[in-house]
Structure 1
Amino acid sequence: MSHDLCTPLTSILGYIQMIKKGNLPKEKHIEYIDIAERRAKDLQSLLSDFFELSIIESSDYYIELEEININNILCEVIASFYSSLVDKNITPKIDLPEENIMIIGNEVAIKRVLQNLISNMIKHCKEDIYISLKKENNKAVLTTINKCDDFKEEDIDSIFNRFYKKDNTRTNKNRSTGLGLFISKSLMDKMDGEIYAEVNENLLHIFCEWNLK
Structure 2
Amino acid sequence: MLEAENITLEEKLEYIAVVKNRTKRLQSLLNDFFELSVIESPDYPLTTEKLGLTALISDIVVEFYDAFNERGITPDIRLPEGNASVYADESAVRRVVENLLANTAKYASGQVDIRLELQQETVDLTIINDAKELAGSDVNLLFDRFYTADRARSAQTSGLGLPIAKSLMNNMGGTLTAELDGDKLMLVCRWKKAKGQ
TM-score, L = length of structure 1: 0.79
2:125 aligned residue: 142
Q: Which runs of 5+ in 1 are unaligned?
A: 1-13
Instruction: Return the offset for 1:38.
Output: 5.3
Q: How does 1:63-212 map to 2 (within 5 A)?
A: 63-167=46-150, 169=151, 171-172=152-153, 175-212=156-193
* More off after superposition, 69-78 vs 103-112: 69-78
Instruction: State the alpha-carbon separation in 1 of the partners of residues 148 and 42 from structure 2.
Output: 27
Instruction: Return the offset for 1:40.
Output: 5.0
Q: CA RMSD in A?
A: 2.5
Provide the aligned length of Structure 1 versus Structure 2: 192
For the 8 Å contact 1:165–1:176, the answer to whether it is kept is no
Q: How does 1:19-98 map to 2 (within 5 A)?
A: 23-24=9-10, 39-98=22-81
Instruction: Return the offset for 1:17.
Output: 7.7
Q: Residue 51 and residue 32 in structure 1: after superposition, are their counterparts in 2 closer, same or farther (change >3 A)? A: same
Instruction: State the alpha-carbon separation in 2 of the partners of residues 32 and 94 from structure 1.
Output: 44
Instruction: State the alpha-carbon separation in 2 of the partners of residues 180 and 118 from structure 1.
Output: 10
Instruction: State the alpha-carbon separation in 2 of the partners of residues 118 and 147 from structure 1.
Output: 14
Instruction: State the alpha-carbon separation in 2 of the partners of residues 83 and 33 from structure 1.
Output: 31
For the 8 Å contact 1:124–1:174, the answer to whether it is kept is no
For the 8 Å contact 2:76–2:112, the answer to whether it is kept is yes
Identity of matched residues, %: 36
Instruction: State the alpha-carbon separation in 1 of the partners of residues 103 and 184 from structure 2.
Output: 14
* More off after superposition, 122-131 vs 203-212: 122-131
- Counterpart residue type for residue 89 of structure 1: G
Q: Quick check: which one's helix share is greater?
A: 1
Q: Residue 146 and residue 210 in structure 1: after superposition, are their counterparts in 2 closer, same or farther (change >3 A)? A: same
Instruction: State the alpha-carbon separation in 1 of the partners of residues 15 and 102 from structure 2.
Output: 26
Instruction: State the alpha-carbon separation in 2 of the partners of residues 32 and 86 from structure 1.
Output: 34
